[in-house]
């Protein structure tokens, strides 16, 4: 390893014996001497530690503490100015580190890249997860976060953070994950570089913490909503520190909150309230989507609102699935479902 590493790759693992070696090898096989790697076994109860120990890298086994605590443990044992938190079930593609490191400079707060969706066996499935554009900006994204609380960003493994951005994780007492507040605080601390190229792989299987690949349920949506509210409270404090006078949107007024609350009503077996639908339409107007996408999304909400319960859930499952989803496919689902809307008799 170089005396001055430019990038630290941190892999945290909890019971991913089947995948963790692939994650580690995806870094080591690129033979970057300006990249350091630290692996933390977060109290696995399977054979993960044995697999990690055979890889010949800096590794630690700690008591189970959750992803965030494990990442902070590793962060304190690295030196590089930039950090990539690679989930143990994900992988980097060959040559990705050269591309990433070549784009980093002190003004960059975060770099993000697209991820190829793969299955448990490593086979590519569907298109890229959260397709990204290619750009470098700061102010525009910061204004978007102020207005909406979010911007398009990939899951954990598709992000590189400047070390000072990661320090905000020490303030988090409401979340065990790391793909939260630092994603949206980054534009307030420097430039965000976005790469449309798929430099990594996101594995979809039956144990994803994100819930991708499974039908949406009330409990997971409730956790997602509560996590968003807590993150927004934290982010508001960060914004006040960095941009005195700037006021972050209130969580209940954000499109993300209203959309997820609308979905929560659906999976809870209730017909969404008309107030929920109106609120969605109002916030959708200000979202940074094209007019075409806004019309498609509004049509989806309206159709879901009038459908019977079983059809609402079926259409929502299609909308939220990570693979094999397209605007045309969604339109077909809407048309197919609309043909089955019951006609109410007069009188």
- Site of tokens 């693979």: 323
Whether pTM exceeds 0.75:
yes
Share of the chain above pLDDT 90, in %: 74
The pLDDT of residue 205: 83
| pLDDT over 90 at 327, yes or no | no
Residue 206 has pLDDT above 80, yes or no: no
The encoded tokens of residue 200 equal 């990594």
Asked whether residue 189 is assigned to any structural domain, the reply reads yes
- Which residue matches tokens 């792989």? 201
Tokens of 301: 């909400």
User: Do 166 and 250 have their domain in common?
Assistant: no
DSSP code, position 114: E
Q: What is the DSSP string of 119-159?
A: -TTS-EEEEEES----EEESHHHHHHHHHHS------GGGE
For the chain, give the percent of residues with pLDDT over 70.
Answer: 89
| Whether residues 249 and 195 fall in one domain | no
- Pair 283, 198 in one domain: no
Expressed as residue numbers, the domain containing 319 is: 218-338
Asked if residue 216 has pLDDT above 80, the reply is no
What pLDDT is attached to residue 222? 95
Q: What is the pLDDT of residue 270?
A: 83
Q: Of 137, 168, 203, which marks where a domain is finished?
A: 203
C-alpha 15/C-alpha 30 separation (Å) is 25
Query: Does one domain contain both 185 and 267?
Result: no
Do the domain assignments include residue 186? yes
Are 73 and 129 in a shared domain? yes
Work out how many domains the chain is built from and give that number: 2
Q: What is the pLDDT of residue 207?
A: 66
pLDDT value at position 346? 32
> Model confidence at 315, in pLDDT bands (50, 70, 90)?
confident
pLDDT digits 0-9 by tens, 169-200: 999 999 999 999 999 999 999 999 999 999 99
Structure token digits, residue 61: 């086994």
Query: Per residue in 87-137, pLDDT tens?
Result: 999 999 999 999 999 999 999 999 999 999 999 999 999 788 878 999 999
Residues 222 and 318 in one domain: yes
Out of 155, 180, 203, a domain closes at 203
Per the CB < 8 A criterion, the answer to whether 149 and 230 are in contact is no
The CATH number assigned to the domain holding 98 equals: 3.90.550.10
Give me the residue label for tokens 């005396």.
3
Domain annotation covers residue 163: yes
Q: Distance of CA 14 to CAs 19, 190, 318, Å?
A: 11, 32, 30
Q: What is the average pLDDT score of the chain?
A: 89
Indicate whether 190 and 242 sit together in one domain.
no
36-45, 103-112, 280-289, 316-325: range with lowest mean pLDDT: 316-325
**The predicted structure's pLDDT at residue 345:** 35
80 and 198 belong to one structural domain = yes
Domain final residue, candidates 158, 177, 203: 203
Confidence of residue 214 (pLDDT cuts 50, 70, 90): low
Report the range of poorest mean pLDDT among 108-122, 161-175, 207-221, 281-295: 207-221
Which of 200-209, 230-239, 300-309, 319-328 has the highest average model confidence (pLDDT)?
230-239
């Amino acid at each position: 390893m170089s005396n001055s590493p430019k990038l630290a790759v941190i892999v945290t693992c909890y019971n991913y014996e089947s995948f963790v070696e692939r994650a580690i090898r995806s870094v080591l096989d690129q033979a970057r001497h300006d990249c350091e790697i630290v692996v933390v076994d977060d109290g696995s109860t399977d054979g993960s530690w044995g697999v990690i120990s055979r890889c010949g890298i800096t590794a630690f086994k700690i008591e189970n503490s959750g992803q965030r605590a494990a990442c902070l443990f590793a962060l304190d044992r690295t030196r590089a100015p930039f950090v990539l938190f690679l989930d143990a079930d994900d992988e980097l593609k060959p040559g990705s580190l050269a591309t990433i490191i070549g784009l980093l400079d002190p003004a960059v707060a975060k770099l993000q890249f697209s991820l190829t969706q793969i299955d448990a066996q490593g086979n590519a499935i569907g298109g890229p997860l959260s397709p990204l554009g290619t750009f470098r900006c700061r102010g525009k994204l910061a204004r978007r976060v102020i207005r909406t609380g979010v911007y398009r960003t990939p899951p954990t493994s598709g992000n590189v953070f400047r070390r000072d951005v990661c320090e905000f994780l020490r303030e988090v007492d409401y979340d065990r994950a790391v793909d939260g507040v630092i994603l949206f605080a980054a534009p307030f601390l420097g430039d965000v570089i976005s790469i449309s190229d798929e430099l990594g792989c996101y594995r979809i299987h039956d144990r994803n913490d994100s819930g991708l690949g499974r039908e949406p349920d009330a409990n997971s949506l409730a956790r997602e909503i509560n996590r968003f509210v807590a993150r927004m409270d934290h982010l508001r404090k960060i914004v006040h520190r960095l941009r005195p006078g700037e006021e972050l949107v209130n969580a209940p007024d954000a499109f993300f909150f209203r959309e997820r609350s609308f979905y929560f009503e659906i999976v809870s077996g209730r017909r969404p309230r008309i107030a929920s639908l109106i609120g969605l339409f109002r916030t959708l107007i200000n979202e940074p989507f094209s007019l075409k996408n806004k019309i498609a999304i509004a049509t989806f909400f309206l159709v879901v609102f009038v459908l019977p319960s079983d059809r609402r859930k079926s259409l929502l499952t299609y909308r939220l699935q990570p693979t094999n989803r397209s605007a045309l496919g969604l339109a077909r689902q809407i048309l197919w479902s609309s043909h089955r809307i019951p006609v109410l008799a007069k009188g």
